[in-house]
Amino acid sequence: MKEISTKLLVIGGGPGGYVAAIRAGQLGIPTVLAEGASLGGTCLNIGCIPSKALIHAAQEFAHARQFGAGTSPLGIKVTNPQIDIAQTVRWKDGIVARLSGGVGALLRKAGVQVQRGWAQIEDGKTAVITPHDGGEPVRVHCEHLLLATGSEPVSLPSMPFGGAIWSSTDALSPDVLPKRLVVVGAGYIGLELGMAYRKLGVEVTVVEAAQRVLPSYDEELTQPVLEALKRSGVVLHLGCSVAGYDAQQGVHVRNARADEFALPAERVLVAVGRRPRTQGFGLEGLQLDMAGRFVAVDAHCRTSMRNVWAIGDVTGEPMLAHRAMAQGECVAEQIAGKNRRFEPMAIPAVCFTDPEVVVVGQTPPQAEAAGVEAITATFPFAANGRAMTLEATGGFVRVVARKSDHLILGWQAVGQGVAELVAAFAQSLEMGARLEDVAHTIHAHPTLGEAVQEAALKALGQALHI
């Protein structure tokens, strides 16, 4: 068996792993990255990027259908719009291929040695990488080991993935569009994809055990999403559980009264969460401290074993690519001797439903639970000129600030395109901005960003356009 030595071995080439490897290479750290599938991990290949591509295609098709129905106030008319879903999937796959290839180029530029294969940990200093093409295994000796193995979709015992039962991965590459789709789970993954399929003309039904959609978000934020679901014709069964599936009757559903009924469906998308990848590659042999299902880490991303680090989904919530990226950079710089900690003021979360939902920092309920006396102000997009020109007047921007000194504690927004406001939200928290800082910053007109300024002005009792 071939044997090599390196200072840093990264297991997992997703957003956290490849960013850690690139930054380590930039800092002159000899680095080996092991990845058994495609570079970029779940996010780039079967998650964030392809889902947003499918969402965009669905939105464009929905616009065309609206124009074809002759109901657009813009005066646009389209005759008999159709979608070639196979071409849509090819277009999506092309974007993924270009980005994955770009990651490979960046790793080469940084001098990172990429081993394309599955790693098996022998101890905290050694792992064997078996190439996926059947080539000779390689034993890698390292000074530092970084675990960046990510997460995977959770299946249901009564409906394992396969055939008509889709994971989110399957839903991103349909060979044909089903007539009827049942989505199990009304979290962000289920609703993002469910709304996209509805725009593609599929009859969509959502089953959720909780009593409302997007249960991890506060109800004021999710109300516009609920209204949009109902307008689009998505059927909701809230407070219900699923008991199984058969091709003749469909999905067997049980409500709170224990009544059981069936929902016909050609495909079932199970989107009930994700779990960390901690099995199958020898991690248990390290006997690391765990935090439930996750690998326990401190504020430096160190595990309980010296020079063994962990980042991203395998270390817990929030399971977000940008968290993993930031952790990866943090680890690489510490290995290079820099003094770094992973203690962000806030980690943004974006739900790409229609309308989109953004949360950064504390929400009003969270501030109240923390015993903070807070000011909360909301500015509606119905009073924003740019939103009117985009036919996107639903939703709002909300700010939460400490009453005593106006320090901004959090931002939330719901509406079309609000994901692009998230950088300003996060930056204001990281820089310790106060309401006055945002309210007295000149925001370009006409933009959706003016709603951010107006929310701060309203919190100060100085609202101009409402």
- How far is Cα 286 from Cα 304, in angstroms, rounded to an integer? 10
Residue 433 corresponds to which tokens in the numbers above?
């901005």
Where would I find the H helices in 110-218?
Answer: 168-171, 188-199
Asked if 445 is an active-site residue, the reply is yes
Partnered with residue 120 across adjacent β-strands are 128
- How far is Cα 66 from Cα 381, in angstroms, rounded to an integer? 22
Number of other residues whose CB lies within 10 A of the CB of residue 14: 31
Indicate the Cα dihedral angle 12, 13, 18, 20, nearest 10°.
Answer: 0
Tokens 């979709």 correspond to 153
Q: Are 241 and 253 in contact (CB under 8 A)?
A: yes
SS3 38: coil
Question: Among the options 141, 443, 445, 465, which is catalytic?
Answer: 445
Q: Are 50 and 71 in contact (CB under 8 A)?
A: no
- What are the Cα distances from residue 455, in Å, to 133, 177, 223, 403, 406? 56, 42, 19, 15, 13
Query: DSSP per residue over 169-196, as a string?
Result: HHHTS-SS--SEEEEE--SHHHHHHHHH
The pairing of strands 267-270 and 180-184 is parallel
- What are the Cα distances from residue 352, in Å, to 44, 59, 173, 349, 416? 16, 12, 18, 10, 9
Residue 91 corresponds to which tokens in the numbers above?
């277009």
Determine if the peptide bond prior to 446 is cis (ω within 30°).
Answer: yes
- Report the candidate in 191, 212, 188, 217 with the shortest Cα–Cα distance to residue 410: 217
Instruction: Tally helices (H) and strands (E) across the chain.
Output: 13, 23
SS3 346: coil
- How far is Cα 146 from Cα 327, in angstroms, rounded to an integer? 11
Query: Catalytic residue numbers?
Result: 445
